[in-house]
Chain A
Amino acid sequence: MDDALRLDERRAAARPIAPPSKPRRSAIRENGVILAGLGALALVSCVLFMTIDARGAWGFVLPFRGAKLAAMLLVGHAIAVSTILFQTISANRILTPSIMGFDAFYGLIQTVLVFFAGAAFAAALDPKLLFTVETITLIGFASLLYGTLLSTGARDIHRLLLSGVILGVLFRSVSGLMQRLIDPTEFVVVQDRLFASFNSVDTTLLGISAIVIAVVTLAVIRMLPVLDVLALGREPAISLGIEHRRMVLIVLGIVASFVAVSTALVGPVAFFGLLVASLARVLVGSREHAATILAASLLAAIALVAGQTILERVLGFDAVLGMVVEFIGGIVFLVLLLKRGTA
């Protein structure tokens, strides 16, 4: 701080203030090569997924695979963005909406519906209407539960993590109990809804999911500068004029919408978000959400589409992508946890 100590002399010499630095490039431009590379990889994965081993009429193959591809891209994007947003408002790199019990809560909503209204009633309802109602319920409860947890300035990571894990277990246990109590045939209905996977994507909800994701993503894009400020933490953000509580609730609503979409389409995926969010930060840093979110979304697309292509077409066996993703994601989670413990 030599200069600061000599402030008076400096002023006496009437030295002009330091010239403005040259404009720093935005994080997207700075990482242009990496992002373009990721984009190209994602595109190649999609093309390969659509074309490899395509037997029979294109008129059948393309819509069939296209629906699956669309679902994977939507889900990947939803999980990636929701994880990064949740980590921003919780000021923490370990939590994901899934670890905090968001998708378990979504499962509970569905179980409760079948439990009280009956499978026949649930099946008779328009799935799109049902999805909308479930999403709104999830947003409401997420704001109530996690809003209080986060906006009280809970900087205690362990308490936050513990609360999330306990809430998740609670939701899963209550769902489990109800599923055991209901009629076996109704249980099949619930199971069918909850245990979707990348192989049995629920295509009836593709359209509405795409709309929800488009709207919510637009909201995220509008909020990008605010998100960067929120990442500074509660007190600096307030000092810079952010209405912290309101913003946290809005972001929670966005996260809940993303989670609802991804859970409705393929079911819960616990560690996938953590994996792509951490990888994105390693690749493009965390200065600007614009770059981090874009990278995470592309990484998610690559991981899901390329992974699924390899498993389905190359290795020739199905239904394990989720497992592989969880396995790698779980290891990343442990590494992050241990690193934090020693830091």
Chain B
Amino acid sequence: MIETNALSKRYGDTVVVDGVTLSLPAAEVTAIIGPNGAGKSTFLSMIARLLSIDTGTAHVCGMDVAKAPSDALALKLAVLRQDNQIVARLTVRDLVGFGRFPHSRGRLTGEDRAMVEEAIGFLGLQDFAERYLDELSGGQRQRAFVAMVLAQDTQTILLDEPLNNLDIRHAVAMMRLVRRAADELGKTIVVVLHDINFAAAYADRIVAMKNGRVAVEGRVEDVVTETIIGEIFGIEASIRQVDDQIVCLFRR
């Protein structure tokens, strides 16, 4: 469960996130969509305590992210940002092992190692487990980072554009994984997505942001409509129902 109250962030005179009040229910997948510069990533970063909050509050699992101890939050909340560059030379297994740090403070137990292997398996990284990160393709590295986030085993997971660098096959696999984590493990997942169709296909709930505010928020079928998408992105879009799935087409 994530709750924000009048959450705002400004840089100088520019308001990037403008009084966002949201309540995202547990065990659901929420997709945040919106044009570039809508404040999606900034909003996510504030909930994840990566950015300081100017005004307003954010609570994750009942903990105030600005006040709760960071190590206690790390047991409830994991976050993956877009560009991850690590100077240390680590293998995939080393990296995923770091996901267990909040639980074991650097001394992996047998249970920790089992969780690490499980996460590596979930992302199909068994064959790369001993490879160094700098020897992997962008997509493989991206999956290694997601495996680390999974190994952290938190109730809430925030993913900022997890489909970056992934081809369509791995993008679908990633979103299925997200879906499964919510359905089977009851995780609360918030994903920033650029592709409306991925959001429509896999999310329970969509938050559409524009100019730092929440433009629309609700179930997929209530948000992905021609008027709303057209208004938010400033494009002409056709929304169709294909095999009980909502798809968005962009007119030439």
Interface check B17, CB cutoff 8 A: no
Write out the residue numbers on chain B whose beta carbons fall within 8 Å of the beta carbon of A239. Answer: 48, 50, 74, 77-80, 149, 152
Write out the residue numbers on chain B whose beta carbons fall within 8 Å of the beta carbon of A238. Answer: 48-50, 70
Write out the residue numbers on chain B whose beta carbons fall within 8 Å of the beta carbon of A228. Answer: 88, 98, 106
Contact of A7 among B48, B98, B102, B177 (CB under 8 A): B177
Write out the residue numbers on chain B whose beta carbons fall within 8 Å of the beta carbon of A240. Answer: 74, 98-99, 101-102, 152
Contact of B123 among A1, A226, A231, A235 (CB under 8 A): A1
Contact call B81/A18, Cβ cutoff below 8 A: no
Which chain A residues in 225-283 approach chain B with CB under 8 Å? 225-226, 228-229, 231-236, 238-243, 281
Which chain B residues in 36-72 approach chain A with CB under 8 Å? 48-50, 69-72
CA distance A92 to B85 in the complex (A): 11
CA distance A91 to B91 in the complex (A): 18
Contact call A235/B118, Cβ cutoff below 8 A: no
Contact of B124 among A2, A17, A287 (CB under 8 A): A2
Write out the residue numbers on chain B whose beta carbons fall within 8 Å of the beta carbon of A2. Answer: 124
In the complex, what residue of chain B is closest to A227 when comparing beta carbons? B106
Distance from A130 Cβ to chain B, minimum over Cβ atoms (Å): 37
Contact call B85/A233, Cβ cutoff below 8 A: yes
Contact of B75 among A7, A229, A241, A242 (CB under 8 A): A241
Interface check B194, CB cutoff 8 A: no
Interface check B251, CB cutoff 8 A: no
Distance from A295 Cβ to chain B, minimum over Cβ atoms (Å): 14
Which chain B residues in 173-223 approach chain A with CB under 8 Å? 173-174, 176-177, 180
Contact call A18/B117, Cβ cutoff below 8 A: yes
Interface check B121, CB cutoff 8 A: yes
Contact call B106/A18, Cβ cutoff below 8 A: no
Contact call B81/A225, Cβ cutoff below 8 A: no
Contact of A4 among B72, B98, B123 (CB under 8 A): B123
Interface check B6, CB cutoff 8 A: no
Distance from A82 Cβ to chain B, minimum over Cβ atoms (Å): 17
Write out the residue numbers on chain A whose beta carbons fall within 8 Å of the beta carbon of B80. Answer: 239
- Given known A1-B123, A3-B126, A7-B180, contact A236–B98 (CB-CB < 8 A): yes
In the complex, what residue of chain A is closest to B170 when comparing beta carbons? A1
Interface residues of A toward B: which range? 35 or more
Interface check A19, CB cutoff 8 A: yes
Contact call A20/B123, Cβ cutoff below 8 A: no
Interface check B110, CB cutoff 8 A: yes
Contact call A229/B98, Cβ cutoff below 8 A: yes
Interface check A184, CB cutoff 8 A: no
In the complex, what residue of chain B is closest to A243 when comparing beta carbons? B70
Interface check B73, CB cutoff 8 A: yes
Contact call B74/A241, Cβ cutoff below 8 A: yes
Contact of A286 among B89, B105, B107 (CB under 8 A): B89
- Given known A4-B122, A20-B113, A235-B81, contact A241–B70 (CB-CB < 8 A): yes
Write out the residue numbers on chain B whose beta carbons fall within 8 Å of the beta carbon of A5. Answer: 124, 169, 172-173, 176
Most A CB contacts (10 A, CB to CB) among B48, B50, B88, B116 go to: B88
Contact call A18/B126, Cβ cutoff below 8 A: yes
Write out the residue numbers on chain B whose beta carbons fall within 8 Å of the beta carbon of A232. Answer: 86, 88, 95, 98
- Given known A20-B110, A235-B50, contact A93–B143 (CB-CB < 8 A): no
User: What are some 27 contacts across the A-B interface (CB < 8 A)?
Assistant: A2-B124, A3-B126, A4-B174, A5-B169, A5-B176, A17-B118, A19-B117, A21-B117, A23-B108, A228-B98, A229-B106, A231-B88, A235-B50, A235-B79, A235-B81, A235-B84, A236-B84, A238-B49, A238-B50, A239-B48, A239-B79, A240-B98, A240-B102, A241-B72, A242-B70, A286-B89, A287-B94
Given contacts A18-B120, A241-B71, 17 further A-B contacts (CB under 8 A): A7-B177, A19-B117, A91-B85, A92-B87, A225-B106, A226-B106, A231-B86, A232-B86, A232-B88, A233-B84, A239-B74, A239-B149, A240-B74, A241-B73, A243-B69, A287-B88, A287-B94
Binding site for B on A (CB under 8 A): 1-5, 7, 17-21, 23-24, 87, 91-93, 155, 224-226, 228-229, 231-236, 238-243, 281, 285-287
Binding site for A on B (CB under 8 A): 48-50, 69-75, 77-81, 84-91, 93-95, 98-99, 101-102, 105-108, 110, 113-114, 116-118, 120-124, 126, 129, 143, 148-149, 152, 169-170, 172-174, 176-177, 180
Sort A-B residue pairs by CB-CB distance and give the 4 closest, nearest first: A225-B106, A241-B74, A1-B124, A241-B71
